[in-house]
Structure 1
Amino acid sequence: MTQVTQQTIAAADLPERGQPLAGGIFLTRYWLNGEERALVLLDDELSGAWGEYGLDVPGAKNYSDGEANTRAMAEAGSEIAIKAMELGAHIPSCLEGQLVMAAKSDGLVTLREDRWHWMSTQYSANDAYSVDFEDGWLYGYDKYHERVVRPVRSLPIQ
């Protein structure tokens, strides 16, 4: 069952970076598809494979739109994508993952540094991107490996 979550936020209602918002921590403002948005990192941590090795998921190749990628992953049967969507969230795209890393570097959030984290952006039919939050490395790995995910929400700013 998908959780009902805050869908938008007024610019005047945005908290300072690093403060609570929409069930998580507000990281930053950014632009996605011509719309300014607020990126929120949830405390939940998921674990699992990205998806089926060798299965091309054409809708999951977006470098910036993690929500669209996650939806395509879920439609292709990805268990971690389905779990993220049940939280009313999504798996960060490569861009969103780098924004999460920037927030960590700014001391706004704490992230596991002992495991690589999946991004929702597919690299190829066999690989998807992962980020090492110890030093920010972005790399493609075999989709069948188990990695962790820190889901995010992206709220349109009105």
Structure 2
Amino acid sequence: MTKQAQQTVLAAELPERGQPLAGGVFVTRYWLNGTERALILLPDELSGPWGEYGVKIEGADSYSDGEANTRAMAEAGSVIAVKALELDGFIPSCLEGQLLMAAKADGLVELNEERYHHLSTQRSAYSAYSMDFGVGWLNDDDKSYERLARPVRSLPIQ
């Protein structure tokens, strides 16, 4: 029997930032599409290209909704997006990547500083955003570049 992932979290049961929650580390509370959510950094690190250079993926250009971006990427055949969804997570958007960087700067999470990480926000048919967690640089890169991705999970807070 497959274990069902946690779907929501009660506000009264939220741990302190940087503490374990739902298979990862609780990063912060944030608002997305009118719902307060808990952002959770998963322990897995993936590697691969974002997608195919020159191909615009409809629905993968949200600056805030990484889950919607990742689902659109997976539907278009992105292997790294499929892997993230199989972990019951997704590739962070630009906003979610910046929230991760803030948590790292606060000493709450550890992120690989050696390579750029894919974010799920597409900039164009040729590039998507990436982040350097060493200094917090937000860049746009060729989609075909091999980069890391650090999946996250986002739970509605009740």
After TM superposition, the score normalised by the length of structure 1 is 0.98
The answer for the alignment partner of 2:9 in structure 1 is: 9
Counterparts of 2:89 and 2:114, CA distance in 1: 23
The answer for the alignment partner of 1:145 in structure 2 is: 145
In the TM superposition, what is the alpha-carbon distance from 1:3 to its structure 2 partner?
A: 6.6
The gaps in structure 2 that reach 5 residues or longer are none
The gaps in structure 1 that reach 5 residues or longer are none
Counterparts of 2:102 and 2:58, CA distance in 1: 28
The amino acid of 2:109's aligned partner reads: V
After TM superposition, the score normalised by the length of structure 2 is 0.98
Cα pair 1:126 1:143 within 8 Å, conserved? yes
State whether structure 2 residue 61 is matched by structure 1 residue 61.
yes
The answer for the alignment partner of 1:31 in structure 2 is: 31
Counterparts of 1:123 and 1:5, CA distance in 2: 31
What is the CA deviation profile of residues 48-95 of structure 1, one whole-angstrom value per residue up to 9, with x for unaligned ones?
A: 000011110120000000000000000000000000000000000000
Q: Which consecutive segments of 4 or more residues in structure 1 shift more than 2 A?
A: none
Cα pair 1:127 1:141 within 8 Å, conserved? yes
The amino acid of 1:152's aligned partner reads: V
The answer for the alignment partner of 1:92 in structure 2 is: 92
Counterparts of 1:4 and 1:114, CA distance in 2: 34
